[in-house]
Amino acid sequence: MKIAVLGTGHVGQTLAGRLAELGHEVTVGTRDVTATLARADPDAMGNPPYAAWATAHPAVSLAPFAEAAAAADLIVNATSGDVSLAALEAAGRDNLAGKVLLDVSNPLDFSAGFPPTLFVKDTDSLAEQIQAAFPDARVVKSLNTLTAALMVEPRQLADGDHSIFMSGNDAAAKETVAALLASFGHTDVIDLGDISTARGPEMYLPIWLRLMNALSVPIFNIKVVR
C-alpha cells in the first residue's frame, strides 16, 4: 500500500520504518522538507533527528504534507496533537477525501509542564475534531494508547498478549486498519464503536502517564481481561 505518515518525530519515524519493513511504499510528510532535514539535535527524549534516521531508512521518502498525502492510499496522522488539525489542513482536504486516515495522536497540553493535561476531552475528542474538519476522510483512531515501539512491535511485550482499541464511523476503514494492526503483531483489537468513542482511549492518557511514572518504563500496555 502507498502510505503517507504525517509527522517527522519519533512516532512518525517508528511507524514509517515498520511500514516500510512490511513492504509498504512509505512517504513521511512534513511542513518544510528543508527545515526537517536541517535539524541536527536529538528530540527531548534523546531520539536522533530526522536526517540521521532517514539515512538509516533509505526506502522511506520525505515530502511536503500535501505531496505525501496526494500520493497515498492511506494516511497516518503522527503529528503532535496540538498541530494535527493544521498539518491535515496543509495536507489538503482533497488529498484526504475518501482515504483512510489513521489518527494516532493525543491531545496533550504541556503548557503547564509534566504530566500534560488534555486540550480536548470528555464532551469531544481530537479524533472527532479531525473527522468534523475533514468529513470526507475516513478517520480511525487507534494506537494512541501505546508508546511508539509497542505500536509497531507489540510482540516484544508478553508475546503481544495485550489489547489495542479502534474507533471510527467507517466499517471498511476499520477493517483496513485492523489488518494493518494485525500485520504489526496486534492480536486483540477492540472496536469501541463510532468516532465519538475515541474520547475513551484519549482520556486513557492520564492513567498511562501515571503508570509510566510508577513503573519507570514506557514499555507496558493493558490487556482487557474478560
CA distance 72 to 137: 13
Distance of alpha carbon 223 from its chain centroid, rounded?
Answer: 20
State the minimum distance, in angstroms, from the CB of residue 218 to its own copies: 10
CB closer to its own copies, 65 vs 165:
165
Size of site (CB under 8 A) for its own copies: 40
CA-wise closest residue to 115 among 191, 49, 187, 207: 207
Interior CA angle at 136 toward 197 and 93, to 5°? 115
**φ, ψ dihedrals at 140, nearest 5°:** -130, 120
Pairwise CA distance, residues 201 & 112, whole Å: 22
Of 168, 87, 160, give the one whose Cα is nearest residue 125: 168
Of the candidate residues 63, 71, 83, 222, the single one contacting its own copies (CB under 8 A): 222
Euclidean distance between CA atoms 150 and 90, whole angstroms: 29
Closest to its own copies by CB, 34 or 123: 123
The residues in 111-150 that bind its own copies, with binding defined as CB under 8 A, are 117-118, 121-123
**C-alpha cell at position 210:** 501515571
List the x/- string, 150-179, binding to its own copies by CB under 8 A. -------xx--xxx-x--------------
Q: Which is nearer to its own copies, 2 or 213 (CB)?
A: 213
Q: Smaller CB distance to its own copies: residue 44 or 226?
A: 226
Min. distance of Cβ 94 from its own copies in angstroms? 32
**Contact call for residue 59 and its own copies (CB under 8 A):** no
What stretch of H or E contains 176?
helix 171-184
**Min separation Cβ 206 and its own copies, Å:** 4
Q: What is the largest CA-CA distance in the chain?
A: 50
Range 181-220, binding its own copies (CB under 8 A): 190-193, 197, 199-201, 203-211, 213-215, 217, 219-220
Find out whether 147 and 205 touch, Cβ atoms under 8 Å: no
7-26: which residues touch its own copies (CB under 8 A)? none
Q: Which residues bind to its own copies, rule: CB under 8 A?
A: 117-118, 121-123, 157-158, 161-163, 165, 190-193, 197, 199-201, 203-211, 213-215, 217, 219-226
